[in-house]
Amino acid sequence: MLMRGLLLLFVIGSSFATFANEHEEGEEEKFNAAEYAVHHALDAHEFHFTDDIVIPLPVILWTDKGIVTFMSSAFQHDDKGEFVVEKDGMKFVKFHEKIYLLEDGADALVLNEEHHVENASEVLLDFSLTKNVVTMFLVMFLMLLVFLKSAKFYKRETQIAPRGIAGWTEPIILFIKELASDNIEGDKYKKFLPYLLTVFFFILFGNLLGLLPILSNPNMTGSISITLMLAMFTFVIQMMSTKKTYWLHIFDPLGDSMSWGAKIPLYIILLPIEVLGIFIKPAALMIRLFANITAGHIIVVSLIAIIFVNQSAWWSGLSVPMTLFISGLELLVAFLQAYIFTMLSALFIGSAVESAHE
Interface with another protein includes 225 (CB under 8 A)?
yes
DSSP state of 65: T
CA–CA separation, 210 vs 202, rounded Å? 12
Q: Which residues pair with 122 in a beta bridge?
A: 100
Total H helices, total E strands in the chain = 9, 8
Interface with another protein includes 78 (CB under 8 A)?
no
The binder of another protein chosen from 72, 128, 345, 351 (CB under 8 A): 128
Interface with another protein includes 177 (CB under 8 A)?
yes
Interface with another protein includes 323 (CB under 8 A)?
no
* Contacts of residue 88, Cβ cutoff 8 Å, sequence gap at least 6: 63, 65, 66, 68
The smaller minimum CB distance to another protein, of residues 246 and 348, is found at: 348
The binder of another protein chosen from 7, 12, 42, 306 (CB under 8 A): 42
The binder of another protein chosen from 112, 159, 257, 259 (CB under 8 A): 159
CA–CA separation, 189 vs 241, rounded Å? 12
Interface with another protein includes 130 (CB under 8 A)?
yes
* Contacts of residue 230, Cβ cutoff 8 Å, sequence gap at least 6: 199, 202, 203, 285, 286, 289, 341
Of 70-78, 129-137, 301-309, 328-336, which segment contacts another protein by CB under 8 A? 129-137
Residue 278 CB, nearest distance to another protein (Å)?
20
State the alpha helices, DSSP H only, in 211-259.
224-240, 244-251
Residue 222 belongs to what H/E stretch? none
Binding mask 235-254 for another protein (x = CB under 8 A): --------------------
Q: Which residues pair with 80 in a beta bridge?
A: 95
CB count in 10 Å sphere of residue 322: 15
The binder of another protein chosen from 14, 15, 41, 349 (CB under 8 A): 41
Size of the site for another protein (CB under 8 A): 54
* Contacts of residue 123, Cβ cutoff 8 Å, sequence gap at least 6: 61, 62, 63, 92, 98, 99, 100, 101
Interface with another protein includes 295 (CB under 8 A)?
no
Interface with another protein includes 124 (CB under 8 A)?
yes
Site for another protein in 44-73 (CB under 8 A): 60
The smaller minimum CB distance to another protein, of residues 169 and 207, is found at: 169
Of 141-149, 240-248, 305-313, 344-352, which segment contacts another protein by CB under 8 A? 141-149
Of 3-11, 26-34, 92-100, 316-324, which segment contacts another protein by CB under 8 A? 92-100
Residue 291 CB, nearest distance to another protein (Å)?
10
CA–CA separation, 256 vs 324, rounded Å? 56
The smaller minimum CB distance to another protein, of residues 117 and 352, is found at: 117
Residue 325 CB, nearest distance to another protein (Å)?
24
Interface with another protein includes 137 (CB under 8 A)?
yes
CA–CA separation, 167 vs 153, rounded Å? 10
Residue 139 CB, nearest distance to another protein (Å)?
8
CA–CA separation, 82 vs 60, rounded Å? 20
State the alpha helices, DSSP H only, in 118-243.
131-156, 165-183, 189-210, 224-240
* Contacts of residue 45, Cβ cutoff 8 Å, sequence gap at least 6: 56, 57, 59, 72, 75, 94, 97, 99, 128, 130, 131
Q: What is the binding site for another protein (CB under 8 A)?
A: 38, 41-43, 60, 96-98, 124-130, 132-133, 136-137, 139-140, 143-144, 147-148, 150-151, 154-155, 158-159, 166, 169-170, 173-174, 177, 193-195, 197-199, 202, 223-226, 228-230, 233, 290, 294
